[in-house]
Amino acid sequence: MTAGRAPGVSLGAHTFGLVWEADAATAIARLAEEGFTRFQLMAIPPHLDVRAADPATVARIRDAVDAVGGELLSIDLPSNDVNAGSPNREVVDLTVALYAATLELAAALGSRWVTLLAGRRHALLPPPDDRLLAIVVDAFDRLVPVAERLGVRLLLENHPQSLTPTAADVASLLAAQGYPVVDALYDVANGAAAGEDPAAGIAILAPHLGLVHLSDTPAGAWRHDRVGSGDVDFDAIGAQLDACAFGGPAVVEVISNDAVADLVASRRFLQARGWKLA
């Protein structure tokens, strides 16, 4: 097997890098011009406001996706706006309400998933036990029935500032709770920032894996740079995806001042490394 080859991986693009320059429908159209047909949206106003997405906005986004025979994969809320693990009940209630509104919007847009974060851990003085995780589980228990009712699945992402920073943390929570509509999203740059080998993280999450985020970062840093510009080993990641027979979507999530060009360059790098991108 050729190192780095991941046959059948369907590649999509994230709109995170375009949130300050275009609304969601315009961003999708720009990415479609570059040949992308699968999309993940960041719900940051005014790019996309889950509380103010009127029927005209929904129609524009759906039309932009349909124009290229595409698919909307997931909608994300920004990590600094939500905290499902806050000891403040009002913060958790607001977070659950925002996620519920995002699930309603996802159903209206035909999105397959909504991305979840397992709260946020204070970097200086987190509690020495699992009390915050219990709060997260209670919040998720409130959201899962909403997702089931709407026919939208949820994605639990590894995140270095959350209560599930590593693949093992995500796998442990999913295994313990057995949620029927929650899959795993593995972000390779987040995994590297949390100090784990991303290829090993993918192997751990293989039974739960729904979607993979691809971006690069220098060793010892937390960035979402153009694929191929940092120290993430995409040969090893591709080989591990192949070993897991993962044929699901992988989304390039680049945060830069020239996001469209960097998304295209990331795709070109993966193709040059032998990735087979559907």
DSSP 226: P
Could you give the CA distance from residue 259 to residue 202 in angstroms, rounded to a whole number? 25
Structural domains in the chain, CATH included, are 10-248+259-272 (3.20.20.150)
- Point out the least confidently predicted range of 10-14, 126-130, 196-200, 261-265: 126-130
The pLDDT-based confidence of 267 (bands split at 50, 70, 90) is very high
Q: CB of 210 within 8 A of CB of 244?
A: no
The pLDDT-based confidence of 8 (bands split at 50, 70, 90) is low
Q: Are strands 209-214 and 182-187 parallel, antiparallel or unpaired?
A: parallel
Which whole-number Å values give the CA distances from 222 to 47, 67, 164, 211, in the listed order? 24, 35, 16, 20
Residue 278: per-residue pLDDT: 78
Could you give the CA distance from residue 240 to residue 155 in angstroms, rounded to a whole number? 20
Which tokens go with 98?
């925002």
pLDDT tens for residues 164-212? 999 999 999 999 999 999 999 999 999 999 999 999 999 999 999 999 9
Q: Which pTM does this prediction carry?
A: 0.95
Residue 248: per-residue pLDDT: 87
pLDDT tens for residues 98-138? 999 999 999 999 999 999 999 988 777 788 778 999 999 99
DSSP 92: H
- β-strand partners of 115: 155
